[in-house]
Structure 1
Amino acid sequence: MNIKKMRMQLIATAASVLISGIALTSATYAWYVANNTVEAVTTNISATTNGFILQIATAKQGPQHGGEQTSLVASTEGGKISPSSTNDLKTWYVNQGINGEGKVASYMQPTFITGENSKPGEYMAGGETHYAYIKSEYVLYTITETGLADVYLDASEGSPVTLTTNGTPTTDTIPKSLRVGITIQNIKKNADGTYSDDGNEELKVVYAPYEETGKGNDAEGVDGWTYIGTADDGKLKPLMVTYPYIYATHYTDQQNRNWVATKNGNDYDATSDTQKIASSVGYDGVKMRVYIWMEGTDADCINNAAAEDPATYNVNVKLAGISAE
């Protein structure tokens, strides 16, 4: 990927995160099962103007301060993903069983595997390894100790989250059931120069490439944006999500809040009520996580004749950093 551009006169900087190689290979449940090997690559578009340059590095690397006002490139690896469901990126459900009509009728929380060689979202089902989600971790920071940046989703050149296809797809299951969640968490610098998480991880917004309409392949499916959770009657079933969401080119959430910055000439515009991905980002930075999953309750996440899809998919998340007032 080469998205690198330099605009020396902007009052803001732009950055992007690319998650590439998402692929669907088989369908063995009533919800699709996707076996994916992914590599996440970040790059950023930066500009030297008002005392800061917004940069991205992997969380493992931490802020990379070397004085050079150039873009940084970092990469992380994911794994296979299978359809799953969540409302907060903390509690996850996968389908457990189907009824006589082929509808998903029971669910379970997967027991995630932890360890030195495990990956986020990894669990065992049917004697095979699956992944409920892909999680990539990055640090947003400024390259100088002066100036703070507010970070927004960047819609100056189209959608802030784009999905591109490699190869010839035989199904639209992945793009139409995909969810991209963005979280922010503070970090602190330790005495030995390393960084550690500080405070709670906050889910900012979830994006879908397509508007969600209709019911999923669930026995008690309901229309719209749903997840699996515990209802008032104590049963696990599809419920309406409570997280903020945007989709396609619709950038206001269900509370009518705008989530994107745009451009006026060469300058980025963000009104006072535009929602920020991160506020007052400085030299030591903040941690940003990007979660990708196939929402099992989505109306498009169902079995059909196209059980094999040779295509792979890339997800690109674009950010804009604007000088914090």
Structure 2
Amino acid sequence: MAKRSQQLKVQLVSAAAAVALSGFALSAATYAWYVANNTVSAKTSTISATTNGFILQIAQKSKGAQHGGAQDSLAATELGGKITPSSTDNMVDWYACQGWGEDGKVTSYAKLNFTAGGKAGEYEAGGETHYAFLKGEYILYTISDTGFADVYLTDPSENPVEVTVNGDATTDTIPKSLRVGLTIQDVDANGNDTGSEVLKCVYAPYTVEGKGNDASAIDGWACINGSATPVVPSYQHIEAGNYDGWCASKVGEDYVAGSEAIAKRVGYNGVILRVYIWMEGTDADCVNNAAAEDTATYNVTVRLAGVSAE
């Protein structure tokens, strides 16, 4: 068994996992920040894992780590849906625009109260159901006696965070204002959440520049965190293929650690990985009502690589 364990640790270096939240669309827009008025149309989202030796594995959080059979850990599904632009600085407190000036600029914001017992991000406004974000919940773990994995975004050449479109997009406004947030939370031996959920980083598929439709807009990265005006986010953020050390580097068939891990020393109990997707209302690209006519849906895929931990 000792020899097999050593071999599996070597294989872990080239383990990779992919997370995909697919089939989401923007709610129809009527004003700045895309004030939504359409009902939600759920789509199927998927998560899959590709590993060498079935070492680093992935499963839907609701099903828990599939320690009983490797094959059960190679795929899981989630539901996406239509989203309304929102803003957050911590993945806990979320805000939407509330008031506008005569010039159409947003002047005030409301903290969202999510529907008790509803889906993640669900809230009611104007007698209608809205979704501030989409959230996929997964568990990353390793098979018993195969060591620990440090988890990174995969090599930049393998598109660590990729946005693709289904259908005929009529504008690029939607992907240009998207944000993808990754959080980690520990679990105990019984698969129960323990400790705090930690926001690791937020990715924007395009360079974030320009000012949004807020009366006190600031240039570039911005968010609403309870103040009356947009502020620079406190979270670590990366954009447009510039991953700033969050990626592992692929050398041959193996991965070499980066400087910023999504999760450290992931073992048999695993860790919870949550993927948040939203349209940042303060973004300069989130003011174009042309997106209201866009019938396309969008997929976000996050690809991870596991590197054997010392």
Task: With the length of structure 1 as denominator, give the TM-score of the two structures.
Answer: 0.87
* 1:39 equivalent in structure 2: 44
* 2:136 equivalent in structure 1: 136
User: C-alpha root-mean-square deviation of aligned residues, in Å?
Assistant: 1.8
What secondary structure sits across from 1:307 in the alignment? helix
More helix per residue: 2
Distance 1:36 1:176, change over 3 A: farther
* Whole-angstrom CA distance in 2 between matches of 1:270 and 1:180: 22
* Residue among 205, 212, 235 paired with 1:243: 235
* Whole-angstrom CA distance in 2 between matches of 1:215 and 1:119: 31
Distance 1:214 1:189, change over 3 A: same
- 1:100 equivalent in alignment to 2:95: no
* 2:256 equivalent in structure 1: 269
What secondary structure sits across from 1:189 in the alignment? coil
* 1:308 equivalent in structure 2: 293
1:143 is displaced (CA, Å) by 2.0
* 1:290 equivalent in structure 2: 275
* Whole-angstrom CA distance in 1 between matches of 2:108 and 2:284: 17
Instruction: Report matched runs for 1:76-155 at 5 Å.
Output: 76-115=78-117, 118-155=118-155
* Whole-angstrom CA distance in 2 between matches of 1:289 and 1:132: 15
Distance 1:131 1:98, change over 3 A: same
Higher mean displacement: 199-208 or 60-69: 60-69
* 1:3 equivalent in structure 2: none
Deviations 1:205-224 (A, max 9, x none): 10010010010010110101
Distance 1:300 1:53, change over 3 A: same
What secondary structure sits across from 2:137 in the alignment? strand
Q: Could you tell me which amino acid in structure 1 is paired with residue 45 of structure 2?
A: A
Deviations 1:185-243 (A, max 9, x none): 001133xxxx2110000000100100100100101101010001344xxxx11000110
Percent identity, please: 57
1:70 is displaced (CA, Å) by 7.6
* Whole-angstrom CA distance in 2 between matches of 1:147 and 1:69: 20
Q: Could you tell me which amino acid in structure 2 is paired with residue 153 of structure 1?
A: L
Contact 2:149–2:264 (CA<8 Å) still a contact in 1? yes
- 1:178 equivalent in alignment to 2:165: no
* Whole-angstrom CA distance in 1 between matches of 2:247 and 2:267: 21
* Whole-angstrom CA distance in 1 between matches of 2:195 and 2:11: 36
- 1:281 equivalent in alignment to 2:266: yes
* Residue among 287, 293, 302 paired with 1:317: 302
5+ residue gaps in structure 2? 1-9
* 1:219 equivalent in structure 2: 215
1:64 is displaced (CA, Å) by 0.1
Contact 2:12–2:308 (CA<8 Å) still a contact in 1? no
* Whole-angstrom CA distance in 2 between matches of 1:46 and 1:302: 41
Q: Could you tell me which amino acid in structure 1 is paired with residue 138 of structure 2?
A: Y
5+ residue gaps in structure 1? 1-7, 253-257
Contact 1:226–1:241 (CA<8 Å) still a contact in 2? yes
1:114 is displaced (CA, Å) by 1.6
* Whole-angstrom CA distance in 2 between matches of 1:106 and 1:315: 30
Q: Could you tell me which amino acid in structure 2 is paired with residue 246 of structure 1?
A: I
Report how many aligned residue pairs link the two structures: 298
Distance 1:68 1:111, change over 3 A: closer
* Whole-angstrom CA distance in 1 between matches of 2:147 and 2:90: 32
* Residue among 284, 287, 292 paired with 1:299: 284
Deviations 1:71-128 (A, max 9, x none): 511112233310000011111110112111111111101111121xx10111001110
* Whole-angstrom CA distance in 2 between matches of 1:66 and 1:156: 33
Q: Could you tell me which amino acid in structure 1 is paired with residue 240 of structure 2?
A: A
Distance 1:63 1:10, change over 3 A: closer
1:39 is displaced (CA, Å) by 2.7
* Whole-angstrom CA distance in 2 between matches of 1:197 and 1:78: 23
* Residue among 18, 26, 36 paired with 1:24: 26
Contact 2:212–2:286 (CA<8 Å) still a contact in 1? yes
* Whole-angstrom CA distance in 1 between matches of 2:176 and 2:76: 28
Contact 1:149–1:281 (CA<8 Å) still a contact in 2? yes
Contact 2:31–2:289 (CA<8 Å) still a contact in 1? no
Deviations 1:160-184 (A, max 9, x none): 1000111111121210000000000
